Structures are given as structure tokens and as C-alpha cells.
Amino acid sequence: MTHDELKGLVPVFALDALTPADEEELVAHLKVCRECSRLLDDHRETAGMLGFAASSQRAPADLRDRIMSQASRTAQMRATSAPVQQQRSSPPPWRWHWAGLAAACILALVAGGLAFLRIDSQTEPLTQQQIVIARQREVLDLISSPDSIMLSMVPTPASRGAEGKAFISDTEGSAAVVVSGLDPPGDDVYTLWLIAEYDPKPVTDFVPEDGLALLPVEAPVRPDMTLAVTREPDPGRSSPAGPVIMSAYRPEDLA
């Protein structure tokens, strides 16, 4: 869907009246579009006000008591930007699948030459290839590290079957995204974004090799941030214009 089409869905979303497929696409878009997010704030206020149209109902006395009793036993979760340490003794088996994909990316680079990542770079090809391979190996270490957190990228209908994982290391203050099954972008490029407070920052433009891409994120991915892949009409964009392909949100309370 275009931006205007998605924008038109915002009031319907505020009413909790979207179909699941539309909702999925709009939620992904909201993570990267400040305009639509602000519009949603306004419409949520309106929708919340609509709730007062229903007749009030006197609650039983014990409902208040139940709520207060449960609240006194329920810990509050607090937003925090402090790094979270993971305590794991060994990498779980599912990591090896993604580590294998990452290794495949490196082999593809070595065997086939540079085909993706940093397509806007002015570096000489051989030097750049060596740099990229070194960075890919660092990413492979990150993926295999028991200290990193893995998040599944949530695909939108525009993903057309692609899937991805994000690996976040608070210890290293970095992250990586591994994506597989991406369609060739043709004249477009894919872009990875790091989003905090609806403010998307481009991480890298890329073109996948055989559908695969291994994307280092040399910045901390803190709680309440989102990683998103979009398909853009041109590289070097400072804000996304194309559809979201997939995204991963790091909850504030994920440890």
C-alpha cells in the first residue's frame, strides 16, 4: 500500500476495526512514519472518547477490591535504557540455522565478489570486499554469542515470504540482522533502519545476494527501538518512503 492508503487506514485502526492483514501492514508502517504515528495519537484520543458513549454500569464492589488487591501484588514494569545483560551458557540450537545463513553470505562474498552492502561506498572494490568480509565475520561471532538477544523480524505482506532475525548484543553495543528469501529489488534497494521514537535512521542500503543479506548494525539497539527493512526507490534516503518488508521491535522489558 502507498503512504496515502496507509494513512487512510489510521482512523479505522484507532477504532480497532482493521482486518488482521491491513493491521499488520499499518503497524509496520507506523514504526517508520512519524506523520501517521502523530495522526494515530489524535484518532486514538477520539476513539477513546467514543467509549463514553456507552452507558456507564455500576461495578460490583468487589471489582475495585480485586483490582487493588492484584495491583498490590503486581510489580510495575519500568522503561529503562540501561543495557541488559543476557546470561546464557551456550547458544541455543536455533541460532545455528541463522549462523549457517550468515556463513553462506560470507562464502558468497568470497566466491562471487562483492555484491551487496554499502552500495554507496566509494572504497576500492577489493579493499571494500575485505572490509565487508571482516565485518561479516564479526557479525557471525555476534550471532553465535550466547550473550546476544535474538528477535524475529515480523514480516509484512510485502515480504513475499522473506524472513529475518535480529541479534542484539548489549555487551558489544551492536547488532546484526540476517534476512533470507528477499526478492531481487530490481531498480530499487532495500534499506535497514534503526528507529527510536518514530525517528528512523538509515543503517545501510543493501541488495541481497541470492535473497540473503547479513547486515551489521554498529550502534546499540536499546529497549523500545525497532529495526525495520524497507524497499526504497533509491539509495541514500534519510527517511523511508517505500513499504516496510519486515520489522523487529525490542520491548522495554526484554532481558
Partner 1 sequence: MRSRTGKPSKVDEQFDEAELVGGLAAGDERCLAALYDRYGSAALGLAFKICGNRTIAEDIVQEAFLALWQRPDRFDAKRGSAGAFLMGIVHHKAVDAVRREESVHRREDNFAGGAPEFSEDEVVDAAWISMRRQKVLAALRQLSDVQREALELAYLQGLTYSDVAARLNIPLGTAKTRMRDGMIRMRALLSQSEGTGSYDS
For the bound state, the minimum distance from the C-beta of residue 234 to partner 1, rounded and expressed in Å, comes to 31
CB of 163 to partner 1, least distance (A): 26
**CA 85 – CA 101 distance, rounded (Å):** 26
- Report in angstroms how near the CB of residue 7 gets to partner 1 at its nearest: 10
CA gap 206, 189 in Å, rounded: 6
* Dihedral sign (CA 28, 29, 34, 40): negative
Q: In the complex with partner 1, which residue's Cβ is closer, 71 or 111?
A: 71
Q: Which is nearer to partner 1, 35 or 41 (CB)?
A: 41
Residue 38 cell numbers, joined: 502523530
Within 8 A by CB and 6+ apart from 68, the residues are none
Type of residue numbered 106: I
Binding site for partner 1 (CB under 8 A): 8-9, 11-12, 14-19, 41-60, 63-64, 66-68, 70-72, 74-79
Q: How far is the CB of 27 from partner 1 (least distance, A)?
A: 13
CA distance 243 to 26: 10
Q: Whose Cβ is closer to partner 1: residue 60's or residue 92's?
A: 60
By C-beta, is 66 or 160 nearer to partner 1? 66
